[in-house]
């Protein structure tokens, strides 16, 4: 089995701190696994044979450790999500931690690790409590947002291995990474934006207070005693607050506008910067002349609202980027290289040379392409070939980077490493396809591109009209032109899209869908064709025993008693189907062939000594031979995801064209296509075929959503307009996909398209509203009726309207 990294979602303990045993979802998951009666393992919640408390010795050990430390409360307080990676201590990736440990100035060592398998707040509590009991640990703190663990300890750097092993024993997977290289630049911009927002908010509040005093003095006649001297004083104080604040908070806009102008282009920031600078300068001139109207409040409030939009936008993009980084971090492992003198050295994948001999332990992922030299085992190649059944490996077998060793340790002589491996080749295909993907122009930019010149022209014409046409002094004409600029400043326009994006991302996040790209929503809304992969996407990632066969229960129980000993997927399905059985004595596993206990054998046809004439069925099978009975055959088949048919129907009702592209054989694809009534399907597609098929669809003007999970789907995921992967997918596919959905169901595919379409319509409403508002107000501004207070009220009003409209998205989907 592969253990693809699962991007995890936060869960709230408040959702109900039920124990695992009573969680209906867990039971459902357990039964769906193989059909047999199982109970959830006390520690990890994965199916265990009924009557047993644990699914594996690792879980039992973890349970013991937790009880011994007096942290048993963990089980009562946690909430397991069956869609996430279960906290089962079973991965065997080994890392050279010393490379990542840094020495701090106070003599302590520090290490940052990505944590895979965090389920809820209780996990954070457990990890931190366990670390707090280690005498040398100075700090062990989990950041739940970024899912990272920061470890600081006294003493030798080599203690890292022991500390990490302590946590891994509990069932979490820890991956070290270079903390300095990730997320720092991203953080800096985010903080700069927040600081600018804080300054703008402070200044806007204060200036607005002063301005309201001024307006009250002139408009309502409430304060008849405000003389010009007081008004000038208030103007000056406003200027002193607003101008430094504008200079500071406006920098993100000024910088972006300057960059655009240097390249001879214009963007949304150009009218913003121009408007703010002109209005501020104009107001300063008015203040110095003792004029009645200044617009400091408008200028700084405008910046405040715009910064709100900018911060939200940054947050949405940052979330997408953090997800991608998390996946990348979890991807590459270290490689154990056998030195000529027989010793072993851990090295990064890049530093292994062809000809080196690499040791691959049980459960470890092979890091190089090569040929097996010693040992025999079975390999899970699902990441590379998409084949769900393990293949046998013995001396002379070619193996590829990315496959997982399921059996005993293998020695592999590397033939290609790093960039030369098949895995890297696939990644390159993906990158090439991504580069070809035409640059998607975001809705807001499309609008801004036409909007900016129109606004400038309008303001210029207003100025010329008043100055030359009507003949007022240049200063007054400029004042009116400024009012036009303020009214048309794309404040609501700048909020229209990011607010919707943030809300829609949040709605989807709660539904178990991660949006990895900020533009994915708009691309999803445009989709008219959905292309599915079969294995692992439309079907469950695991196989199930066909029950229709005429084997008796006794045979099944005997077979299961052997199969208990094996990690082979077919053996596990068999055990799950058989229910509780005692393990047979003296079971020997012959990797890639089968299991034997005395005269009883369970395994492939050849292993059981049967010739090819014995009637079998199509698809994967296991044979059982006993001394005193006829051979029995167990068949396995792929099962569709429970809601596949319903989801396909929903998608079709939404007017989408559904297609199926599979790398599998025709006779495996045809029944699935028939069951789901998918008329357009192709079998036997290589990755290149898939890309070609998708390119053809895109070239014919369609917007294609590709849903796939294997590494072989990676390139086609990148070639499609937008792509989605289940969380069980190969890590490369998850990295490429725009959308990653959790859980055993296919329904999120329909949900995400539906939400995207709704989000698009809300975005359009927002844009229409803010433009409509401008169309209403511009004539007033052009004719000189807009005073500072009217401008401020109208501007804030439109921004609030747009935000309120966006929040409807949340309510309707709740």
Partner 1 sequence: MNVILYLLGASLILGGGGLAVFLWSLRSGQYDDLDGAANRILFDDDE
205 in contact with partner 1 (CB under 8 A) = yes
Give the range of 12-20, 349-357, 373-381, 407-415 binding partner 1 by CB under 8 A. Answer: 12-20
Nearest-10 crossing angle of helices 747-782, 644-653: 30
191 in contact with partner 1 (CB under 8 A) = yes
Residue in 136, 157, 169, 202 binding partner 1, rule: CB under 8 A: 202
Contact at 8 Å (CB) between 523 and 703? yes
582 in contact with partner 1 (CB under 8 A) = no
Contact at 8 Å (CB) between 738 and 515? yes
209 in contact with partner 1 (CB under 8 A) = yes
Give the range of 115-123, 167-175, 588-596, 794-802 binding partner 1 by CB under 8 A. Answer: 115-123
247 in contact with partner 1 (CB under 8 A) = no
Measured distance between the N- and C-terminal CA atoms of the chain, rounded to whole angstroms: 36
Q: Which residues contact 101 (CB under 8 A, 6 or more apart)?
A: 109, 110, 111, 157, 160
Helix (H, G, I), strand (E, B) or coil at 681: strand
Residue 767: which of 487, 448, 496, 445 has the closest Cα?
496
497 in contact with partner 1 (CB under 8 A) = no
Nearer to partner 1, 13 or 800 (CB): 13
Give the range of 109-117, 141-149, 407-415, 575-583 binding partner 1 by CB under 8 A. Answer: 141-149
Residue 132 CB, nearest distance to partner 1 (Å)?
8
Helix (H, G, I), strand (E, B) or coil at 704: strand
Give the range of 7-15, 430-438, 697-705, 776-784 binding partner 1 by CB under 8 A. Answer: 7-15
Residue 289 CB, nearest distance to partner 1 (Å)?
22
Burial class for 636, CB neighbours closer than 10 Å (0-12, 13-18, 19+): buried
Nearer to partner 1, 124 or 691 (CB): 124
Helix (H, G, I), strand (E, B) or coil at 299: helix
Nearer to partner 1, 118 or 707 (CB): 118
Helix (H, G, I), strand (E, B) or coil at 267: coil
Residue 622: which of 691, 696, 556 has the closest Cα?
556
Percent helix, strand, coil in the chain, to 5, is 50, 15, 30
237 in contact with partner 1 (CB under 8 A) = yes
Nearer to partner 1, 206 or 415 (CB): 206
Query: Strands, DSSP E only, in 50-184?
Result: 102-103, 109-116, 137-143, 148-153, 173-176
Each residue of 258-279: b (16+ CB within 10 Å) or e? eebeeeeebbbbbbbbbbbbbb
208 in contact with partner 1 (CB under 8 A) = no
Give the count of residues interacting with partner 1 (CB under 8 A).
Answer: 30
Helices (H), 677-783: 687-699, 714-719, 731-736, 747-782
Residue 112 CB, nearest distance to partner 1 (Å)?
13
Q: Which residues contact 591 (CB under 8 A, 6 or more apart)?
A: 376, 377, 378, 392, 393, 406, 407, 408
79 in contact with partner 1 (CB under 8 A) = no
What whole-number distance in Å separates Cα of residue 507 and Cα of residue 510? 5
Nearer to partner 1, 229 or 548 (CB): 229
Give the range of 6-14, 464-472, 621-629, 718-726 binding partner 1 by CB under 8 A. Answer: 6-14
Residue in 97, 111, 115, 124 binding partner 1, rule: CB under 8 A: 124
460 in contact with partner 1 (CB under 8 A) = no
199 in contact with partner 1 (CB under 8 A) = yes
Nearer to partner 1, 139 or 339 (CB): 139
Nearer to partner 1, 323 or 662 (CB): 323
- Contacts to partner 1 from residues 521-560, by CB under 8 A: none
195 in contact with partner 1 (CB under 8 A) = yes
233 in contact with partner 1 (CB under 8 A) = yes
Give the range of 189-197, 438-446, 497-505, 710-718 binding partner 1 by CB under 8 A. Answer: 189-197
Residue 468 CB, nearest distance to partner 1 (Å)?
41
10 in contact with partner 1 (CB under 8 A) = yes
Among this protein's residues, is 334 annotated catalytic? Answer: no
Nearer to partner 1, 124 or 558 (CB): 124
Residue 497 CB, nearest distance to partner 1 (Å)?
24
What whole-number distance in Å separates Cα of residue 788 and Cα of residue 794? 10
260 in contact with partner 1 (CB under 8 A) = no
Place of tokens 């859980």: 743
145 in contact with partner 1 (CB under 8 A) = yes
129 in contact with partner 1 (CB under 8 A) = yes
Backbone dihedral angles phi then psi of residue 528, each to the nearest 5 degrees: -125, -10
Nearer to partner 1, 11 or 641 (CB): 11
> 601 forms bridges with which residues in the sheet?
596, 625
What whole-number distance in Å separates Cα of residue 305 and Cα of residue 466? 30
Nearer to partner 1, 17 or 692 (CB): 17
Nearer to partner 1, 199 or 562 (CB): 199
Residue 80 CB, nearest distance to partner 1 (Å)?
15
Contact at 8 Å (CB) between 368 and 352? yes
String marking each residue 325-364 x if it binds partner 1 according to CB under 8 A: ----------------------------------------
Residue 202 CB, nearest distance to partner 1 (Å)?
4
What whole-number distance in Å separates Cα of residue 181 and Cα of residue 99? 14
Residue 43 CB, nearest distance to partner 1 (Å)?
19
What whole-number distance in Å separates Cα of residue 545 and Cα of residue 560? 12
Of 81, 356, 380, 533, which one is the catalytic site residue? 533
Nearer to partner 1, 144 or 646 (CB): 144
Place of tokens 């790398």: 663
Residue 110 CB, nearest distance to partner 1 (Å)?
15
61 in contact with partner 1 (CB under 8 A) = no
Q: Containing H/E element for 156?
A: none
77 in contact with partner 1 (CB under 8 A) = yes
Residue in 125, 440, 509, 590 binding partner 1, rule: CB under 8 A: 125
Nearer to partner 1, 323 or 725 (CB): 323
Backbone dihedral angles phi then psi of residue 263, each to the nearest 5 degrees: -90, 10
Integer angstrom CA distances of residue 168 from 92, 118, 131, 162, 528: 10, 12, 12, 10, 45
Residue in 206, 385, 411, 593 binding partner 1, rule: CB under 8 A: 206
**Computed over its alpha carbons, how large is the radius of gyration of the chain?**
32
Residue in 83, 115, 120, 277 binding partner 1, rule: CB under 8 A: 120
Residue 214: which of 305, 134, 144, 292 has the closest Cα?
292
509 in contact with partner 1 (CB under 8 A) = no
Give the range of 10-18, 440-448, 518-526, 635-643 binding partner 1 by CB under 8 A. Answer: 10-18
Q: Which residues contact 87 (CB under 8 A, 6 or more apart)?
A: 43, 44, 62, 80, 117, 119, 123, 170, 171, 172
Residue in 19, 102, 146, 639 binding partner 1, rule: CB under 8 A: 146
What whole-number distance in Å separates Cα of residue 121 and Cα of residue 127? 10
Give the range of 114-122, 255-263, 766-774, 790-798 binding partner 1 by CB under 8 A. Answer: 114-122
Residues that bind partner 1 (CB under 8 A): 10, 12-14, 77, 120-122, 124-125, 129, 142-146, 191, 194-195, 198-199, 202, 205-206, 209-210, 230, 233, 237, 241
Q: Catalytic residue numbers?
A: 533
């Amino acid at each position: 089995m592969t253990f693809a990294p699962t991007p995890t979602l936060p869960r709230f303990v408040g959702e109900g701190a039920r124990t695992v045993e009573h969680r209906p979802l867990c039971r459902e998951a357990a039964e769906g696994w193989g059909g047999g009666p199982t109970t959830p393992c006390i520690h990890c919640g994965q199916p265990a044979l009924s009557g047993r408390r644990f699914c594996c010795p690792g879980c039992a050990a973890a349970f013991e450790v937790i009880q011994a430390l007096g942290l048993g409360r963990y089980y009562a307080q946690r909430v397991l999500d069956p869609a996430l990676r279960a906290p089962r201590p079973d991965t065997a990736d080994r890392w050279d931690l010393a490379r990542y440990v840094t020495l701090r100035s106070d003599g302590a060592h520090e290490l940052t690790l990505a944590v895979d398998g965090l389920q809820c707040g209780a996990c954070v509590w457990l990890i931190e409590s366990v670390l707090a009991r280690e005498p040398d640990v100075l700090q062990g703190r989990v950041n739940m947002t970024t899912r990272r663990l920061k470890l600081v300890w006294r003493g030798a750097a080599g203690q890292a291995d022991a500390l990490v092993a302590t946590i891994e024993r509990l069932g979490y997977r820890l991956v070290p990474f270079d903390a300095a290289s990730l997320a720092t630049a991203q953080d800096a911009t985010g903080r700069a934006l927040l600081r600018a927002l804080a300054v703008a908010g402070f200044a806007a509040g204060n200036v607005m207070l002063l301005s309201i005093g001024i307006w009250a003095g002139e408009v309502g006649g409430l304060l008849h005693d405000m003389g010009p001297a007081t008004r000038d004083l208030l103007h000056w104080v406003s200027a002193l607050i607003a101008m430094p604040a504008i200079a500071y908070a406006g920098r993100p806009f000024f910088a972006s506008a300057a960059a655009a102008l240097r390249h001879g282009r214009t963007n949304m920031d150009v009218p913003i910067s121009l408007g703010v600078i002109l209005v501020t300068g104009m107001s300063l001139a008015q203040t110095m002349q003792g004029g009645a109207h200044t617009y400091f409040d408008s200028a700084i409030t405008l910046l405040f609202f715009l910064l709100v939009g900018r911060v939200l936008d940054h947050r949405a993009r940052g979330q997408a980027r953090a997800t991608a980084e998390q996946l990348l971090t979890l991807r590459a492992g270290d490689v154990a290289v056998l030195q000529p003198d027989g010793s072993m050295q851990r090295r990064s994948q890049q530093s292994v040379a062809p000809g080196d001999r690499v040791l691959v332990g049980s459960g470890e992922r092979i890091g190089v392409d090569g040929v097996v030299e010693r040992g025999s085992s079975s390999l899970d190649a699902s990441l590379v070939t998409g084949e769900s059944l393990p293949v046998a490996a013995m001396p002379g077998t070619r193996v590829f980077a990315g496959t997982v060793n399921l059996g005993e340790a293998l020695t592999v002589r590397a033939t290609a490493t790093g960039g030369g491996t098949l895995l890297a080749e696939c990644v390159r295909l993906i990158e090439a396809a991504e580069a070809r993907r035409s640059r998607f122009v975001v809705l807001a930019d499309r609008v801004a591109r036409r909007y900016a010149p129109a606004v400038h022209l309008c303001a210029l014409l207003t100025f010329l009209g008043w100055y030359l046409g009507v003949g007022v002094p240049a200063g007054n004409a400029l004042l009116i032109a400024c009012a036009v600029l303020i009214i048309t400043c794309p404040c609501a326009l700048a909020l229209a899209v990011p607010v919707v994006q943030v809300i829609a991302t949040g709605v989807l996040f709660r539904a178990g869908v991660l949006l990895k790209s900020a533009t994915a929503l708009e691309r999803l809304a445009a989709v008219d064709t959905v292309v599915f992969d079969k294995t692992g996407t439309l079907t469950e990632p695991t196989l199930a025993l066909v029950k229709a066969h005429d084997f008796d229960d006794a045979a099944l129980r005997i077979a299961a008693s052997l199969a208990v000993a094996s990690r082979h997927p077919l053996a596990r399905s068999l055990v799950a189907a058989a229910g509780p059985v005692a393990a047979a004595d003296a079971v020997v596993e012959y990797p890639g062939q089968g299991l034997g206990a005395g005269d009883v054998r369970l395994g492939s046809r050849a292993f059981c000594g049967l010739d090819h004439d014995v009637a079998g069925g199509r698809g994967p099978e296991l044979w059982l031979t006993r001394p005193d009975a006829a051979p029995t055959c167990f068949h396995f088949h792929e099962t569709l995801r429970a809601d596949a048919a319903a989801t396909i129907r929903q998608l079709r009702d939404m007017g989408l064209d559904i297609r199926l592209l599979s790398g599998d054989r025709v006779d495996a694809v045809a029944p699935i296509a028939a069951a789901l009534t998918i008329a357009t399907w192709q079998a036997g597609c290589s990755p290149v075929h898939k890309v070609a098929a998708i390119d053809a669809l895109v070239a014919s003007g369609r917007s294609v959503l590709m849903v796939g999970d294997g590494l072989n789907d990676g390139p086609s995921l990148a070639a499609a307009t937008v792509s989605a992967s289940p969380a069980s997918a190969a890590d490369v596919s998850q990295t490429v996909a725009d959308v990653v959905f959790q859980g055993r169901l296919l329904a999120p595919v329909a949900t995400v398209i539906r939400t995207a379409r709704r989000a698009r319509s809300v975005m359009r409403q927002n844009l229409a509203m803010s433009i409509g508002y401008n169309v209403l107000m511009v004539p007033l501004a052009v004719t000189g009726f807009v005073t500072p207070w009217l401008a401020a009220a109208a501007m804030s009003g439109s921004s609030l309207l747009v935000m309120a409209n966006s929040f409807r998205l949340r309510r309707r989907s709740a």
